Structure 1
Amino acid sequence: MPETLPLKEVPGDGNDAVGRWPHLGAIENRIEFFHGEQEFWSSRLEKYGSTVFRVNMPPSPPGFSANPVIMLLDLKSLPILFDSSKVEKKDVLLGSYMPSLSFYGGIRPCIFLDPSEERHCQLKSFMMDLIKSNADKWIPEIEKAASEIFSVWDDKMAKNGTAELNSECGRFACNVLFRTIVGRDPAAPGEASLGEKGPFYFQAWLGPQVAPVASVGLPHVLEETMMHSFPIPHFTIAHFHQKLVDFIETYATDLLDKADKEYGIERNDALHNLIFTLGFNAFGGLLIFLPSLLGFIGRADESVRKALVSEIRNAVEMEGGEITVGAVHRMDLVKSVVYESLRMRPPVHYLYARAKEDLVVESYDARYAVKKGEVIGGCLPFASRDPRVFEDADTFVASRFAGAEGRKLLHHVLWSNGHSDVLPSPHNKQCAAADFVPFLCQTFLACFFLRYDDCIIDEPKISGSGISYTFTSLKSRANR
């Protein structure tokens, strides 16, 4: 019988920097956090000798209340965040901070709801239906949107010798999502057309919501005063938000009717959940992840890219030269590369929940008492590099999840608010597109390596617009 781990109090009080002055402690924690997240977590792991501890998370005073969270930084303790019998997910997307409901038309989007709430089941069922009911459109729209941005990259490479990835990845995401889900090109002429500004409108709407918990590489003093000390009010981006509202109201009437008639969802509720799902979940995630995915590939050993080219082209050839669902499912290495990228740099870094009752969180070395109502969080970039689960955990290994043994490790990839081998359901908080996003990314890579023989990508750069990636070499396929 295994020996029971000792029961301990969670170390740290959330104000470890300044002791009895909680607001000053929270501010100092915040400044240290944004100065360098890796160093922030490493220093506390060393200080407490534990992967479970209490610390203040951004945002924090003066414009916010203190935000002490019990953080979990290993893959044994973190999955408690997915146990709906022990924790609830109500209004904890960003810890104890929640943006103004003005960003969402006055409603609480599905992501802020707990599975126990009736609206959660209705809304998530609707969103999952939108993904599945458009199954025959995804691959053609991905191919079309990918071809459009590849042409832009080709032109930039010919003109400048380099090509920046991020903006075109954002355009790709925006076009695929609107064309497939809404059935309307966002740039098509019309009374509510977004023109070429669809990605901009999404980013303008997203920015103020996440600004208090994000860094975009601006000088530290500017970020602290402009982004991290006070919430940015909705009126600053109301015009851009209304552009998205007008687009959905005008061109997604069939979807709003479906939400009402088949799922009992009021139109304003459905409308703003569509904007949130398309803009926050899908566009926001792909805008971050696609450049990162290409970045890992473009900085990997050349043999990785050669293997991807061979696998993709062979799989497509077996399907008569077309990208099909069957072809994508044959691409074992491509799938592994996508999941390894999700493990190394997940698009969402932090997950939160609130204890429904007094409970015990178990790590590798101890058990920790958590009181009812306390906020628990997980740091995915740190936990997903758990050396007790993954060999060479800090290294990008393209084939890590390939083959039968590799696929068993998918259980420990938690990018989607759940285990990657668990399907999303209206009754859990697993991302509605948990099984679809990897497929989309695999299809995108198939398009990429059907067009290109090789690529090289420079080290990512942090700037005022965030983390950016640049092609320094892009070799088109011979005889394409």
Structure 2
Amino acid sequence: MGSKASSDIKTPMIFHQDSSDELPLKTIPGSYGMPFFGPIKDRLDFFWFQGQTKFWTSRMEKYQSTVFHVNVAPGPPGFRTSHVVMLLDQKSFPILFDVSKVEKKDVLLANYMPSLSLFGGTRPCVFLDPSEELHAKVKSFVMNIIKLNASKWIPEMQKAALEVFPKWDLEMNEKAKAEVNTHTSQVACNVLVRTVLGRDPAAPGEATLKTDGPSLFRTWLAPFLAPIASIGLPHILEELTFHSFPIPSFVASGTYKKLTNFFEIYGTELLDMAEREHGIDRHEALHNIIFFMGFNAFGGLQLFLPAMVEYVAGAGQKLHDALVKEVRDAVKEEGGSALTVAALRRMELSRSIVYESLRMSPPVAYQYARAKEDITVESHDARYEIKKGELIGGCQPVATRDPRVFKDAEKFVAERFMGEEGKKLIKYVLWGNGPADGKPSVSNKQCAANDLVPLLSQAFLACLFLHYDSFTIFKPTIKGNSVTIHFSSLRKAC
């Protein structure tokens, strides 16, 4: 159940009561339907009969509520049913981040838990609850990796971007179009591997990834994510296969072995650090590094960078002119052609665009948790009781378009997060298991790269407008949950 810029979820206007200090206590509306058939009906509605947008909006309209019972994918026959209390507004959603009240153990994909064989037999940190001892060790290790490489991230992003621009220019000359997704995926892979391992993934060697890093990551993730996504196959075939039964992990075993060999051979220093400084078994550390790099970091950036490009392209020439001036002036004021953190701090508009893009299309659309105790959740209009053990979920692209918080919530507004008032809205950008202004720690589930991903995305955007004056795109090609974007024009800087 991924999010994408070209299939935006539109939040309907719900009937609202007058606000009061004591909201009424209501029964959670909605139904899970008949055993077996109810979850299948909801799954078919989600993937085929209604689609993601209408699936959520129709239920909010039907129940006149942003809190309700529903079944989420993948569902039966070969999966455990995921009965979920769904939270789709800014007031109720944050309970999903409060680990004093909810448990995050093995709920990344609701009740669907993929085979641990996909992860070398380990449970990566994303599946661990902060109450588990290993969570603190691994989270601390990952945060340390990010911090130790602080001086490398931006130079490596500029290097990777400068490598891809000639390829786009060549494609434009030869084909009159240039694909965004493939090349931004390579940018993401190169930045991450070069920075963290200090090695080019394509460099010759016994375990070289050549230029196949992005495709290897995607092939490995396919069995993991296919049951909750549409890959564009004929409906009946997809329903009878990927959406009905877990994909055996052996289909990706060869791919994962290549990734494992690469990180084991060239990540020796990281594994030493994990064992010596954080007390993590080398096997655990190895597979957590792969998961962090492949799912959390690469997976997020490969989805987000094209979405951001799409939003900026659609905003038009006036925004492009403003970005050209902001980016080039900031770099000049900081001493030259090299992009720096100091230069990025001067770029208020580009930073706002990153947060607005995250608001519209967070890389991971869904969050889940399980109630540790009987709790009461408040929406804007009512209170609801959730029982201990119940599964709770939220769709971030709906909550981040809450019309009670954001004016013109369905519209991409590049300047939304500029100025003092704009900065106050950043806390309502929900992504990465927390608010955008939150601070990752070993005691919460906030993404360790909560500050890094926006910074890298802003750096990529800045690199674009250092090299190009403007660009346009064709209408995106949509196949299942996959959105492919092509430039229709690229106007180089003089």
1:7 shift after superposition = 1.1
CA distance in 2, matches of 1:65, 1:254: 40
Which structure 2 residue ranges, 5 or more long, are not aligned? 1-18
Partner of 1:18: none
Within the candidate set 19, 26, 31, 1:13 is matched to 31
Within the candidate set 143, 159, 164, 1:149 is matched to 164
Partner of 1:122: 137
Within the candidate set 407, 415, 419, 1:391 is matched to 407
Within the candidate set 159, 165, 169, 2:180 is matched to 165
* Structure 1 outlier segments of 4+, above 4 Å: none
Partner of 1:441: 457
Partner of 2:305: 290
Check the 8 A contact 1:413/1:420 in 2, yes or no: yes
Check the 8 A contact 2:400/2:430 in 1, yes or no: yes
Identity, in percent, stands at 58
Which amino acid in structure 2 is aligned with residue 430 of structure 1? Q
1:10 shift after superposition = 1.2
Check the 8 A contact 2:229/2:481 in 1, yes or no: no
1:46 shift after superposition = 1.4
1:421 aligned counterpart, secondary structure: coil
Partner of 2:258: 243
Within the candidate set 28, 32, 36, 1:23 is matched to 36
Check the 8 A contact 1:349/1:379 in 2, yes or no: yes
Taking structure 1 as reference, are residues 377 and 177 closer, same or farther at Cα in structure 2, changes over 3 Å only? same
Which amino acid in structure 1 is aligned with residue 130 of structure 2? P
CA distance in 1, matches of 2:105, 2:481: 31
Which structure 1 residue ranges, 5 or more long, are not aligned? 16-20
CA distance in 2, matches of 1:458, 1:350: 28
The superposition leaves residues 98-118 of structure 1 with CA deviations (integer Å, 9 ceiling, x where unpaired) of 111001111110011111111
Partner of 2:14: none
1:399 shift after superposition = 0.2
Partner of 2:424: 408
1:227 aligned counterpart, secondary structure: coil
Partner of 1:90: 105
Within the candidate set 353, 357, 371, 1:341 is matched to 357
Alignment of 1:53-72 (within 5 A): 53-72=68-87
Which amino acid in structure 1 is aligned with residue 31 of structure 2? D
1:74 shift after superposition = 0.5
Check the 8 A contact 1:299/1:458 in 2, yes or no: no
CA distance in 2, matches of 1:108, 1:241: 15
Partner of 1:77: 92
Check the 8 A contact 2:155/2:340 in 1, yes or no: no
The superposition leaves residues 293-335 of structure 1 with CA deviations (integer Å, 9 ceiling, x where unpaired) of 0010011121111111110001000011121110001110000
Q: After the TM superposition, which of the residue ranges 86-95 and 452-461 deviates more from structure 2?
A: 452-461
CA distance in 1, matches of 2:86, 2:405: 19
CA distance in 1, matches of 2:74, 2:289: 27
Within the candidate set 188, 197, 218, 2:203 is matched to 188
Check the 8 A contact 1:22/1:66 in 2, yes or no: no
* Residues 1:352 and 2:365 aligned together: no
The superposition leaves residues 230-280 of structure 1 with CA deviations (integer Å, 9 ceiling, x where unpaired) of 110110110000000000111000100000000000000000000000000
Which amino acid in structure 1 is aligned with residue 126 of structure 2? I
The number of residue pairs the alignment matches comes to 473
2:434 aligned counterpart, secondary structure: coil
1:25 shift after superposition = 1.1
1:68 shift after superposition = 0.7
Within the candidate set 95, 98, 114, 1:99 is matched to 114
1:365 shift after superposition = 1.1
Check the 8 A contact 1:143/1:444 in 2, yes or no: yes
CA distance in 1, matches of 2:183, 2:77: 37
Partner of 1:476: 492
Q: RMSD of the TM alignment (CA)? A: 1.1
Which amino acid in structure 2 is aligned with residue 74 of structure 1? D
Which amino acid in structure 2 is aligned with residue 477 of structure 1? A
CA distance in 2, matches of 1:237, 1:286: 22
Which amino acid in structure 2 is aligned with residue 232 of structure 1? I
